[in-house]
Structure 1
Amino acid sequence: MRLLQRLPGGNFQLTSFDDDDRAPRYAILSHTWTEGQEVTYHDLIDGTGNDKTGFEKIRFCSEQAAIDGLQYFWVDTCCIDKSTSDELSTAINSMFKWYRRATKCYVYLSDVSVPGQVADAAAFQITWVDTFRRSRWFTRGWTLQELLAPPSVEFFSIERKRLGSKISLEQEIHKTTKIPISVLRGHDLSNVSIDGRMSWAASRMTTIKEDRVYCLLGIFGVFLPLIYGEGEAHARMRLEEEIQKQRGHELGQTCNFSAGKLAPRTTMPLHITRLETARATCVIPFRRDPDFTDRGTLLDEVRKKCLTPASRIALVGLGGVGKSQLAIEHCYRTADRFPGTWVFWVHAGSATRLEQSYRDIASQVELPGQSEPQANIFELVRNWLRDEKNGKWLLVLDNADDSAVLTSLLDRVQGHLSRYLPPSKYGSTIVTSRAVSVASHLVEEQDIIHIKPMQVTDAQNLLQKKLRGDVAADEVNELAVALEYMPLALVQAAAYISKRGPHFSIQQYLQEFRKNDKRKISLLNQEAGHLRRNEEAKNSIIITWQISFEHIRRTRRSAADILSLMSFFDRQGIPKALLLGSNVPQSAPRDVQADDGEESNNAKDDDSALDYGTDDSFIDDILTLRDYSFVSETTDPGTLEMHSLVQLATQKWLEGRGEVEGWRQQFISTLFSSFPTGQYENWNICRSLFPHAIAASAKRPRDKQSRKEWAELMYNAAWYAWQRGDIHEAESLAIASM
């Protein structure tokens, strides 16, 4: 694939990429040609063609791409060497994919003009909409796939005024083309009948007669060698045969291009059954993300593992870290690279949705017997997946977080869910889960890929894509650091900033974010309206994590108690010894308002406290928290660490349960009992606990007894700070202790 690269100063040059999958983000141009006026590949190589009218379209695409933060762009007239038949054939067979993978598609309508006095063309459709409907662009064969393939299509007048997008203009486009609005919004083309797709192209024309057929290859997901000179009828016959062979769903019918539908076919052998010609379909319930950001070698690792016969892998990590997004992108890349592959998506968040997903698969592959009242739908799908005659398939088991959902199958069918994800030479399975323990029941340990927060540069790239326009690199980096490189949090923040328009900046967001914990939680609770997350899942990262907190609390209360206590420590270097010896209560006291004249229940009261009893139970609790990626080990085997945003979410969760004050008191009491005076012989202990004392300085408790412990803790911390020469910190802590 060749792309045009915009250079400093506005010039551009051709750049080749041997692997389409590794091409950078790019914009793509859709337009109608003017005979003899288009800039060709050889014009660019020779440095000529600047005087052609088509050069203005290339300049427009370059400048509009730059506005959208894109350095690369593609124009069909000059990015393909049409003098080489092999290259032309490859390009035409790849065209649909190239348009689908474009970050932006700009439609340049040379026959649509907007009056000069109209500054905002999109707001004054009346001045151009009639001309828009009559545009030559809607009559050409090649522009059909250019309308349908890209996720983002924007229309511009000859004056470069933006008219709107495929979505904002969907009613006008629908009236003009008769293409259903659902398709314009990204509905899978394979779910539309062949007749329906043929009808969209029936009245469209091409300069070369064979192109009336070749322009439909991507619409039907088939590939053909180009034979210019064969004639439209012969090309039509080859297309029909390929559709019937690879994706034939309308058996016993033949394509009638002029009528825009299928006509009866009498030459189909009678012994061929409907099941044998069921087409491989790709059902991904989420649109492709045009802003998807590659994360180092993660997708390469997924791809390589999935190429292994009978592979089964798991993507495991904290909620909101981007597991499902990686799976979605891998599915689309698989569909691009191997068009004949079946792609199945199974929602595993609940037993009901899990079963419905298997029923959807049965319907997708047209399994006989699926409607029988006593049918074991899991067994039917399992048998289909095991049958190598059905070809290649990829199955994603998404949100497999709750082991109870997976084991619930034992009550109704024979076996654990892993039985119904059978190994097959032509099949691969991807599991996404927040819990290592769940994933390990479905895949081998060596096939678990742990997904961490983004790397610095990846997080910066994601923010720049989502925020569009020119954003200062240092501000983007500052925001990424504040949000700890968590993809969902970054997307939320970008959506919040963008929604408030051009006058709300990253710095304003950061100022709001840093005001106090209450405001920080409010911002993190903002839902981003994420189009690539389960519709039953909340899009707020706070709620995403709190769902996991609730699950841990139900299944292992002692682990939830440790998480509650850890949320008040400094995020790094949390001593295991303090957690193990802290008498963490089995049930934290409900918060009680207290002042100097009345006592509240204290978390250390004998009646409400429970020792762990054994180190083994403590280890199991830590393993549970690690399992959900809420805590992690450090190079020091005696300490743990947490994300500060997870700590904040935990405290918000405790607040909702009326337990935050009780756990604050428990934290103060635990730290108070371990922090010695600041004498020199105690410095090693003081040094390790000092960051936690600083964290405690902002957590003054309400309870009178707890306040006494807090004040003494502040005093000892001040003593240590003074002894080591940190006078400013010592003064601040000493004043707080008074």
Structure 2
Amino acid sequence: MVLTGLETVAAVSSFVQLIDVAAKVASRLNEYRGKSGELPRSFLEISLLLPAFIEVVRETKVAVDDNRLSDTARQAITPLLKECSTQISFLDRIVTELLPKNDETSIELFRKVVRSLKYDKKIHRAEEAIRKYLTMISHQGIASARNKDAATPAPPKPTFVNRPFHRDTDHVHRDALDQIITQTHKPNGTQRLALVGLGGVGKSQIAIEYAYRTRDVFADAWAFWVNATSATNLENDFRKIAQALRLPGWDERATHILKIVYEWLCDEANGRWVMIIDNADDISVFTAPPPVGPGASQVQTGPHSVTPQIRDFLPKSSLGTILITSRAKDVAFELTGNANYYIHVQEMTEEESMKLLNVKLRGTHAESDKLELVKLLGYMPLAISQAAAYISQRAPLVTVSSYIEDLKKGNQNTTKLLSSSMTESHREIRRSHSIIATWHLTFEYVRGFHPSAARLLSLMCLFYWQEIRKSLLVGNYEEEMKKQKHEERRLRVRLRELWGYISNTLRLRNNSHHKQSQPRNTLPTFFDDCVTLINFSLLKVSANGQGFQLHRLVHLATEKWLDINHELDYWSKKYVRLLETTYPQITYPEPGFSDWQEYQTLFSHAIRAIECMPSDKTTLYVWLRLMLRVASFAKHGGLYTEAESFSRIAIHYLEQLVGPENEHTLQGVHELGEILNLQGNYQESEIAWRRAWSGRQRLLGTHHNDTTWSAMSLARVLFSQGKAEEAMAIEKIYAGKISPDTPKYLLQMLEGNYAEAESNIRQSLRARQEPWNEDAVEDIEALADMLAVQAKYREATGLLRAALAIQVRSSLATQDAIKTTKAKLASTLACHGHYREAEELLRQLTAEPLNSTTNSNQQELFAHNLECLGAVLAKQGLFAEAEKIGKQAVEIGEKTLGLEDIQTRNAMHSLAETMRLKGQYEDALALYEKSHLTPGKERFSESNMSDLRWMAECVDDIREVVRTEGKDESCWERMKRDDRSFLLIFFV
């Protein structure tokens, strides 16, 4: 008689429950014996019987599974199972109740001993019953199964186990597939390979096609698919493999499922197989201890002192191959053990992209449009499939050309299109079908485990996607969100402690684990963060090795991710300030770099910053200054239309923000006149320059240098229009204003033409007879100044060393002149990042204290050198000494120069920076307020351009401190009410 479906299910369920409870009781008894060395006598015989009992019940279950039991055996088994379950449940209850625990007192133990006496007879009866039932089950179940005239079931037929989807008939062949087949199908081929690349690049598609092709070549080969997104998913898929292989105990919780699959696959007698381990992105999944049910023992795969990990149960066989897909290069290396055993899957080639688009896209479309589409999508397979599905589903309303137009409209349109989900038969339902959502999972993982790298990525996504220079990144993201970083470090340490506690509780650690070193408290470096992003294929080194680049869609997806997490505005402001400070600091917004390609790179990034128009006044002011500089570069690059557009936008917002006759507004107007003049638009150029001249006369005075340049520019454009009389009248007003003895390079420097000024100084130096003497020092230092302004610190440092050597040798040089040159050299070295040498010079300069004979210039230089020394020490992380010296600089400034002197306030600001970096936010905030909320007249001159910029940055610093500490912003109200702080209102 054959069991019905319901009867079979009921029988199997009873067996499984009985085995689980019996295994739990056996495990508890063994655990107690391991701790105490012996068992109470009443439990000793039970502990010896249970392993054999469990094995017999397991064999009977197999017989039921294979339908090998006779009718007689089936009828006998049902009441036996019921009675056995009752007895084993009784034992489970009393074992829990009576066995002593580690933390119990002697009184509690005595009470348990007394209580156990009344159970002795019941335990003995349970022991006799189990012996009896053991014999009966063995005889009725197994013997009957042997005697039944039934053929032994055939072994399972090799198949594709747990395949996530059917074979893709539209599969586009990739070179990576050929590499895998070549390395694994040959005799003694590679047993373990990995595919590494971005999510959506096609790794899983290549892997599943490889599995099918392997089965095409080797018909008797098994194929297994394992999802490694978590240890639980991996265990579940291993259990499905065990079920398909009909391994005993596959459906029992107590079974060490990884071990039994591992042993079967390692046995070469079982034939050829291929295993795909998909989404192996998290190494902690594989370094975790294997999940083991109650009653099963841990298996040591190496020395006794080593706890087994899940990766120890990835099988090895000369007839088997494991192919791993991962987004993380370091995980691939850990699992393959060799950098030669993983293949980096890049974006598709243009030919492959066109093939994929053609098989996915319905309708007829122009080849040129399709080619442009795959280029815009960066040859990314998932993005191409997504776009093809979107167009096909909405045809004829949407075409390839209209989709391209929407992509080009801007980031919001692009992210909307690429966030739309689509369904494909060859892609798992549980996977994201959107390229944006796919990458957001990677971003979240990086943020969770590598927060510093996530901050670096957050900043990088705002740059233009190519040629992102290291110098633009280092030091500009690490100091963000200090409080969050502290919490992250604290949480990681706590998690490690918690894991250690859990591991010890479960006795999964041994002596060597107790000796492991303490968690590392050092923060990741820029190099570490870059390696993390490169490992996840989010970042690439540029082809010329001079910078980095992001995939265009990664660039876009990261920006969208920031927007979703409400961080885009925060990082945009940081980026705008960074780009504004990167451009040269000059009077007029003229190019400060002689190297066009270098400036072209900065121009691309600055255009990105211009797209990030801020809403707050402080950052808006910085953004407008940047726009004026970008307009100047566009002008010198012949991009007159762009330059005019940038200038007009900047002037429009400056008029609203600081007024029509603010110096920055008039600066933009003057620059607009220059741009219009270069385009031959003399009439509008005249209007602009006339406005700049008249405005500067009222603001700065008739004979101010800036006013003079606007006047002479106006005269030039008047001559161009034949208005010689008015032009000559203007020149007459300014005749003699600029001395004919003034060096030509100084005039060019005043105009902001640093490149031309540099050329003229070099000519002046070449005209001097070498070796240079004291007379050449002025020109040498002038050239060094020009180079430092253009961030050419290496050459500037060399020139200052030469000037210093001349002064030291000369009998004419004063000690004040030598000290000034040393101070310049120290500052230049510090700008170049040579903090140690700068520190040595500054210590020399501050070694001699001030005395009563020190003049005001010397006092200011000494205070400046002290301030610089403190800043250099802080840059090296020597906060204690930096704080001490910073306080000295403030004290000297207050005593000798006064509280309202620029140098005193600069020293306060530098000390506040040190305190902020040190994490003493309250002290830092107090210093910021003292430095900036009671301004001196010199510091806040409305006509001083660098001071306005400096002030805006300082206010940003205060706001950052207040924001980081979570304080209220009541100090801003005090600033608004303070009549001495009227200028600050523009920046709040």
TM interval, short-chain normalised: 0.5 to 0.7
Segments of 5+ residues of structure 2 without an aligned counterpart are 1-64, 69-148, 293-297, 299-306, 485-520, 652-988
> 1:678 and 1:631, CA in 2 relative to 1: closer, same or farther beyond 3 A?
farther
Match of 2:641 in 1: 728
Distance 1:725 1:442 in 2: 54
Tell me the SS of whatever aligns to 2:462: coil
Distance 1:683 1:717 in 2: 16
Asked if the contact 2:455–2:477 (Cα under 8 Å) also holds between the matched residues in 1, the reply is: no
Give 1:434's aligned amino acid: R
Match of 2:178 in 1: 300
Does 1:709 pair with 2:625? no
How far did 1:462 drift?
Answer: 0.5
Distance 1:455 1:681 in 2: 38
Give 1:330's aligned amino acid: Y
Does 1:398 pair with 2:306? no
Distance 2:392 2:208 in 1: 24
> 1:711 and 1:615, CA in 2 relative to 1: closer, same or farther beyond 3 A?
farther
- Which of 394, 399, 403 is the matching residue for 1:509? 403
Match of 2:451 in 1: 557
Distance 1:344 1:304 in 2: 20
How far did 1:394 drift?
Answer: 0.4
Does 1:691 pair with 2:604? yes
Distance 2:206 2:223 in 1: 15
Identity of aligned residues (%): 38
Match of 2:434 in 1: 540
> 1:626 and 1:457, CA in 2 relative to 1: closer, same or farther beyond 3 A?
same
Match of 2:324 in 1: 431
How far did 1:614 drift?
Answer: 9.4
- Of the structure 1 ranges 441-450 and 712-721, higher mean CA displacement relative to structure 2 is found in 712-721
Does 1:465 pair with 2:359? yes
Match of 2:531 in 1: 623
Asked if the contact 2:239–2:251 (Cα under 8 Å) also holds between the matched residues in 1, the reply is: no
Asked if the contact 1:678–1:717 (Cα under 8 Å) also holds between the matched residues in 2, the reply is: no
Structure with higher RCO (Cα < 8 A, 6+ apart): 1
Does 1:417 pair with 2:330? no
TM-score by length of 1: 0.58
How big is each residue's C-alpha offset from its partner over 1:51-81, in whole Å with a ceiling of 9 and x where there is no partner? xxxxxxxxxxxxxxxxxxxxxxxxxxxxxxx
Asked if the contact 2:197–2:537 (Cα under 8 Å) also holds between the matched residues in 1, the reply is: yes
How big is each residue's C-alpha offset from its partner over 1:698-736, in whole Å with a ceiling of 9 and x where there is no partner? 111112111111111111122122123222232222223
> 1:475 and 1:618, CA in 2 relative to 1: closer, same or farther beyond 3 A?
same
Which aligned pairs between 1:177-192 and structure 2 lie closer than 5 A?
A: none
RMSD across aligned positions (CA) = 2.6
Asked if the contact 1:525–1:540 (Cα under 8 Å) also holds between the matched residues in 2, the reply is: yes
Give 1:432's aligned amino acid: T
Give 1:690's aligned amino acid: F
How far did 1:589 drift?
Answer: 11
> 1:280 and 1:411, CA in 2 relative to 1: closer, same or farther beyond 3 A?
closer
Give 1:641's aligned amino acid: Q
Tell me the SS of whatever aligns to 1:475: helix
Distance 2:483 2:253 in 1: 51
How far did 1:488 drift?
Answer: 0.4
> 1:382 and 1:708, CA in 2 relative to 1: closer, same or farther beyond 3 A?
same
Tell me the SS of whatever aligns to 1:397: strand
Tell me the SS of whatever aligns to 1:528: coil
Segments of 5+ residues of structure 1 without an aligned counterpart are 1-248, 253-269, 591-612
Larger radius of gyration: 2
Distance 2:250 2:421 in 1: 38
Does 1:529 pair with 2:423? yes
> 1:586 and 1:724, CA in 2 relative to 1: closer, same or farther beyond 3 A?
closer
Match of 1:73 in 2: none
Give 1:388's aligned amino acid: E
Match of 2:205 in 1: 325
Distance 2:478 2:458 in 1: 10
How far did 1:475 drift?
Answer: 1.1
> 1:537 and 1:578, CA in 2 relative to 1: closer, same or farther beyond 3 A?
same
Match of 1:487 in 2: 381
Asked if the contact 2:459–2:575 (Cα under 8 Å) also holds between the matched residues in 1, the reply is: yes
Asked if the contact 2:215–2:221 (Cα under 8 Å) also holds between the matched residues in 1, the reply is: yes
How big is each residue's C-alpha offset from its partner over 1:542-567, in whole Å with a ceiling of 9 and x where there is no partner? 11101111111111111000100111
> 1:368 and 1:310, CA in 2 relative to 1: closer, same or farther beyond 3 A?
farther
Asked if the contact 1:697–1:736 (Cα under 8 Å) also holds between the matched residues in 2, the reply is: no
Distance 2:482 2:645 in 1: 31
How big is each residue's C-alpha offset from its partner over 1:222-252, in whole Å with a ceiling of 9 and x where there is no partner? xxxxxxxxxxxxxxxxxxxxxxxxxxx9999
How far did 1:411 drift?
Answer: 6.8
Asked if the contact 1:309–1:424 (Cα under 8 Å) also holds between the matched residues in 2, the reply is: no
Distance 1:713 1:411 in 2: 58
Asked if the contact 2:462–2:572 (Cα under 8 Å) also holds between the matched residues in 1, the reply is: yes
> 1:464 and 1:681, CA in 2 relative to 1: closer, same or farther beyond 3 A?
closer
Does 1:678 pair with 2:590? yes
Structure holding more strand per residue: 1
Asked if the contact 1:588–1:659 (Cα under 8 Å) also holds between the matched residues in 2, the reply is: no
Asked if the contact 1:362–1:370 (Cα under 8 Å) also holds between the matched residues in 2, the reply is: yes
> 1:551 and 1:452, CA in 2 relative to 1: closer, same or farther beyond 3 A?
same
Match of 2:549 in 1: 641
Distance 2:550 2:479 in 1: 21
Match of 1:567 in 2: 461
TM-score by length of 2: 0.44
Tell me the SS of whatever aligns to 1:442: helix
Match of 1:285 in 2: 164
Which aligned pairs between 1:62-101 and structure 2 lie closer than 5 A?
A: none
Distance 2:173 2:225 in 1: 22
Asked if the contact 1:577–1:638 (Cα under 8 Å) also holds between the matched residues in 2, the reply is: no
Match of 1:339 in 2: 219
Which aligned pairs between 1:134-533 and structure 2 lie closer than 5 A?
A: 273-274=152-153, 277-283=155-161, 284-295=163-174, 297-307=175-185, 308-309=188-189, 311-409=191-289, 415-443=308-336, 444-533=338-427
Distance 1:273 1:588 in 2: 69
Distance 2:591 2:406 in 1: 40
How far did 1:683 drift?
Answer: 3.9
